[in-house]
Amino acid sequence: MQIRRISAFTENGAGGNPAGVVLADSLPSASEMQRIAAEVGYSETVFAAPTTEGWMTRYFSPEAEVPFCGHATIALGAVLAAEKGNGRYRLLLRTGEIEVEASVQNGTGHATLRSLPTNSRRADDTLISEALHLFGYARQDLDQSLPAMWVNAGASHLFVAMSSRMHLSKMRYDLNSGRSFMQQHGLVTVMLVYRETERLFHARNAFASGGVLEDPATGAAAAALAGMLRDQKILSPGDMTILQGADMGRPSRIFVRFDGVEGSPVFVSGATAKIV
């Protein structure tokens, strides 16, 4: 079984978030996919198999299956474009249906995914207090103009806005404590964000639920964030950019665009590169 290794959401051909990509005639058993993902060791490995209706698709972190992964979807799109041709591919997830459109030009992949529908709600005070304790932040470190939110576009994340880039750069937490916190509350990641301008955001994503301290680029959380900003009337329809991974030495760039229909899917784009 061939495992392709692709970095998604790269910045000028570098950085990005590595993903394993497996194309198979039929999907292996869940236990076999979990074994392969643990062996690959990336934050996610995506498995896809063709059907008459599209591609059956599942995502696994080193420790557990996840319902949706954006950067692995972008990586999958690049592999499909390279091996099956540039175009649009229908992906059938366990939680719904998405789409990825991809092309490869001069060795560089470009892909855009259409997310699942978005939804969000205010995070309750107890959850916020637990998150602040986990990361060692105080209430005054938060951006009071952007309330903490539970956000979802296929997977659940906690969004917390910091008041400065400096506070964001200081993100630290214990992996085991973070895993317990995320599993208890049904969160895939905790997304800490600093808003530099109206449509430019810096992000760090703690991913202890998958056994990974931090993701250098998180397309699923980017989709959920954009949907929340649109649905909560914080941003008007258009596009936004999320910079992630710089604090890890893996600078990544995520582009998101969305219309004005509340709860509708959003579009997440990025460049890819093969990992040699």
Contacts of 121 (CB under 8 A, 6+ apart): 149, 150
Q: Is the pLDDT of residue 276 over 80?
A: no
Per-residue pLDDT tens for 68-118? 999 999 999 999 999 999 999 999 999 899 999 999 988 899 999 999 999
Q: Residue 193: pLDDT band by 50, 70, 90 thresholds?
A: very high
- Return d(Cα 246, Cα 127) in angstroms, integer: 27
Contact yes or no for 256/182 (Cβ under 8 A): no
Q: Is the pLDDT of residue 162 over 80?
A: yes
Q: What is the pLDDT of residue 234?
A: 96
- Cα three-residue angle 155-4-1, rounded to 5 degrees: 100
The pTM of the full predicted model, rounded to 2 decimals, is 0.95
Here the tokens at position 104 are 């490869």
Identify the architecture of domain 4-114 in CATH.
Roll (3.10)
Q: What is the pLDDT of residue 105?
A: 87
Here the tokens at position 134 are 């986990």
Q: What is the pLDDT of residue 147?
A: 96
Here the tokens at position 27 are 């999907």
Q: What homologous superfamily does CATH list for 119-265?
A: Diaminopimelate Epimerase; Chain A, domain 1 (3.10.310.10)
Alpha helix positions (H), 100-244: 125-135, 165-169, 175-185, 219-231
- Return d(Cα 254, Cα 201) in angstroms, integer: 10
Here the tokens at position 36 are 């392969």
Mean pLDDT score, 247-275: 97
Here the tokens at position 142 are 């938060």
Nearest CA among 215, 217, 135, 130 for reference residue 172: 135
In the chain, what are the domain boundaries?
4-114, 119-265
For 87, list phi and psi in degrees, rounded to 5: 160, -165
For the CA atoms of 258, 263, 264, 265, the dihedral, rounded to the nearest 10 degrees, stands at 70
Per-residue pLDDT tens for 4-40? 999 999 998 899 999 999 999 999 999 999 999 999 9
Contact yes or no for 243/250 (Cβ under 8 A): no
Mean pLDDT score, 138-144: 97
Q: What is the pLDDT of residue 98?
A: 96
Here the tokens at position 217 are 């680029």
For 224, list phi and psi in degrees, rounded to 5: -65, -40
Q: What is the CA radius of gyration of the chain?
A: 17
